[in-house]
Every structure is written in structure tokens, then in C-alpha cells.
Amino acid sequence: MTPRLTRRLLLAATTLAVPAIAHAQARRPLRIVIPFPPGGAVDGLGRVLADRLAPVLEQSVVVDNRSGGGGLIGADAVAKAPPDGTTIGVIGAATLCAAPFLQQTMPFDVARDFRAISQISDSAVLLAVNSEAATRRGWTDLGSLLAWCRANPGLFKVAHAGAATVSHLTLAALSAQSRAEFNQIPYRGGAQMTADLLNGTIEGSADLPTALVPQLESGRIRILGTSSGQRLGMLPAIPAFSETPGLQGFDIRSWNMIVTASATPAAEVERIAAAIRQVGTTQSFKDALRPLGYDAVVSESTAAAAALIASETPKWQRLVEVSGARVN
């Protein structure tokens, strides 16, 4: 190859590379809106995702915490963001599927204002009991607890995280389907709820894995089941509620969805979705989510993500109706 030809090839390669480099540099940062304060499980999920998306997208990714309104403020920020592919949000099932039936007024319309990109995580509510109370009452599993509750209506003191929360809706559904009456006690914070479960002030607690799983090693609590339709990957030894006779079909999952403004161009949506599928199926991503109380679950397509929201919404509507919960 002559020196002149070599120079021409190098020049051609450089000329082709410049637009690609300029395109990558020209992309504005991708903003991931987290509708809760820093330090929580959803915030941790968002930061794990941001760290892994940035190199795949060849784009800066920043986390933006917009807390308040039980998640509605952050979700509304995503719905009203410029539809240019620079803003996505980690929004939960309770906001997308239950809130429209809990709230008298909504700042957005889920079907009109959001475009689903991909599910990103799955979790469920765990039902735990104080170990001393379980031994004293003879609660060896969920079935024996429910039988005791039917024989002693209203005596089982079980806490949830407050009116209209996932744990509240789960307990209401469990009570209705099992025909067992509980003494449900709302709490404002998970830390106090866990402390009272450990010291025996309450006998049971319905909460997410991050609050309850760390207490298992102490031996002071027992987890009797998970509200998901099948056992969670992070807790394979904990039976699903649906394994208990009379609870077949019980399936309440606290999943998170990546969404963006509805008018975002399809090409941008698919670009982000492809990157999420690439990082979300890796073992390192799955391992990073488990300490946060999540199983990593990624939609096979944007259509599948949208279908999940559509199929889950009637179920959450029924949960709200059973619970009688209402906000504002």
C-alpha cells in the first residue's frame, strides 16, 4: 500500500467517524426521575440503572429525585417533561394502576400521558409475624394463621404502611379472599412498624422485603408468605400466598415501570428500551437489585410493557374497591 493511499484511507475513516462522535457528544443527559427521596429502595434502583445505562447509551445519565404526593409529583414531572427522549421515570404499579381509583383528582391521565418503555423490577408484600406470638398461637404457616383469625375475628394485630399503600391493599385483599378478619393498624413509617413487630407490640406486619428480610437472622420474626403469584427469586424458600388452600390465584406484585412522556418519538423510546434490555438481563444487575428487595424483570418489548399496565389496572381497581381506601 502506497503512503498516498494510506493517507487517503485514514482521512476517509476519520471523516466517517466525526459525525458519530459529534452525535454522541451532542446528546443531552438522560434524566431518570425518582418519585421518592434519596436513600430508599426505588432511589437505589434508579441509581443502579443510571450507572449501567450510561456506557450503553454513550450518554450521561442523572438521577432526579422528585418526591411527594405518594409518588404523584415525580410521575407528573415525567408526564409533563419535553417529549424528546431526555426524561424517563421509575414509576410503580400503585401510581400507574391504583392511584386513578384512589385519588379524587389526578394531575395526569396514565393512558394519555405516558408511554411505557419497560418493566424494570418486581417485588411483593411479605406477611411476617412475631416469632413468640407465632409459637404461642400455633401459627406454623399462613394457613394456620388464617384459621386462627377466622376463629378469633379481629384479634390478630397486623400493621401496614398506611391507608392506600400496597401493604394496606394487600391485607384487605387477603382478608376478603380468606374470610379472615384482622385488626389492621396503619403506621406512618416502616422503621417503627418493624421495631414494634420485633418487640411484640404488634403480632404481624405486611411490608416490603427491604424492611423484613434483614430481621430474619435474629429469629424474632417469621415470614409466612409473599403476595406474588409465585415465589420471589430473591426468596425461594418463602411460599406464595397462592400456595395456601383457598388463596389460589392471589397475585399482588409491587413492580416498577420505566415510562416517558407519551409524545416521545418512537425511535428514542426503542433506543432506551434496547439499552434497558441489554443491562437489565445481566447477572450483575440482578445481583445489585436483590439487596434492594427487587427481582430484576425486563419487558421483552415496549408493547409488552404497555400490556402489563393495561392488564394490571382492573386488578388494582378491584383491590381499591375491596379496601375501601380513598385519598383526598
Instruction: Report domain 29-122+255-323's class.
Output: alpha beta
pLDDT tens per residue across span 196-214: 999 999 999 999 999 999 9
- At residue 231, does pLDDT exceed 80? yes
Residue 2's pLDDT is what? 53
Q: What percent of the chain has pLDDT over 90?
A: 87
Residues sharing a CB contact under 8 Å with residue 289, sequence separation 6 or more, in sequence order: 45, 48, 121, 295, 296
Q: Which distant-in-sequence residues (6+ apart) come within 8 Å of 240 by Cβ? A: 225, 226, 227, 228, 229, 230, 231, 250
CATH number of 126-243: 3.40.190.10
Distance, C-alpha 220 to centroid of its chain:
27
Residues of the chain with CATH 3.40.190.150: 29-122+255-323
Q: How confident is the model at residue 164 (pLDDT cuts 50, 70, 90)?
A: confident
- CB proximity list for 163: less than 8 A, separation 6 or greater: 186, 325, 327
Question: What pTM was computed for the model?
Answer: 0.87
Q: Which of 3-17, 60-74, 170-184, 242-256 has the lowest mean pLDDT?
A: 3-17
Three-state DSSP state, 224: strand
| Residue range(s) of every CATH 3.40.190.10 domain in the chain | 126-243
At position 207, the amino acid (one-letter code) is D
Q: Which of 149, 163, 270, 254 is nearest to 203 (CA)?
A: 149
Q: What is the dihedral of CA 296, 302, 308, 313, to 10 degrees?
A: 120
Cell of 5: 493511499
Cell digits for 168?
394496606
